[in-house]
Amino acid sequence: MKEARDTVGRKKTPRWLEAARRRQGPVVPGERADWLARALGRAGVMPRAEAERAIREGRVELGGRVEREPFAPVHAGQQVRVDGQVRSLEAPLRVVMFHKPAGVVVAGTDPEGVGTVFERLREVLPGELQGHEWFAIGRLDRDTTGLLLFTNDERVVQHGTSPETHLPKRYVAEVAGRPSEEALTRLREGLELDDGPTRPAGARLLGPDRVELVLTEGRHHQVKRMLAAVGHPVRTLHREAVGSVVLDVPVGAWRQLSDSEVSEGLGFRTDATTAEQG
Please spell the DSSP secondary structure of 6-25, one letter per residue.
Answer: -TTSPBPPPHHHHHHHHH-S
Q: What residue type is assigned to position 205 of the chain?
A: L
Question: Are 75 and 28 found together in one domain?
Answer: yes
Q: Residue 61: inside a domain, yes or no?
A: yes
Is residue 21's pLDDT more than 80? no
Judge contact between 202 and 213, C-beta under 8 A. yes
Q: In which domain, by residue range, is 23 found?
A: 15-86
DSSP β-bridge partners for residue 256? 96
Q: Residue 277: inside a domain, yes or no?
A: no
Q: What is the domain count for the chain?
A: 3
Q: Is 232 left (phi over 0), alpha (psi -120 to 50) or beta?
A: beta
Orientation of helix 222-229 relative to helix 181-189, angle to 10°: 130
C-alpha to C-alpha distance for 55 and 49, rounded to whole angstroms: 10
Question: Are 146 and 209 found together in one domain?
Answer: no
Q: 232-271: per-residue pLDDT in tens?
A: 999 999 999 999 999 999 999 999 999 999 999 999 987 6
Whole-number pLDDT of residue 33: 66
- Residues involved in catalysis: 141
Instruction: Give the β-pairing of 145-151 and 234-242.
Output: parallel
Q: Residue 275: inside a domain, yes or no?
A: no
C-alpha to C-alpha distance for 103 and 251, rounded to whole angstroms: 12
C-alpha to C-alpha distance for 75 and 39, rounded to whole angstroms: 10
Residue 259 CB neighbours (<10 A): 11
Q: What is the CATH number of the domain that holds 33?
A: 3.10.290.10
Question: Are 36 and 150 found together in one domain?
Answer: no
Q: What is the CATH number of the domain that holds 136?
A: 3.30.70.580
Q: 83-142: per-residue pLDDT in tens?
A: 999 998 887 899 999 999 999 999 988 989 899 999 999 999 999 898 888 999 999 999
Mean pLDDT of 204-224: 95
C-alpha to C-alpha distance for 262 and 260, rounded to whole angstroms: 5
Q: What residue type is assigned to position 240 of the chain?
A: E
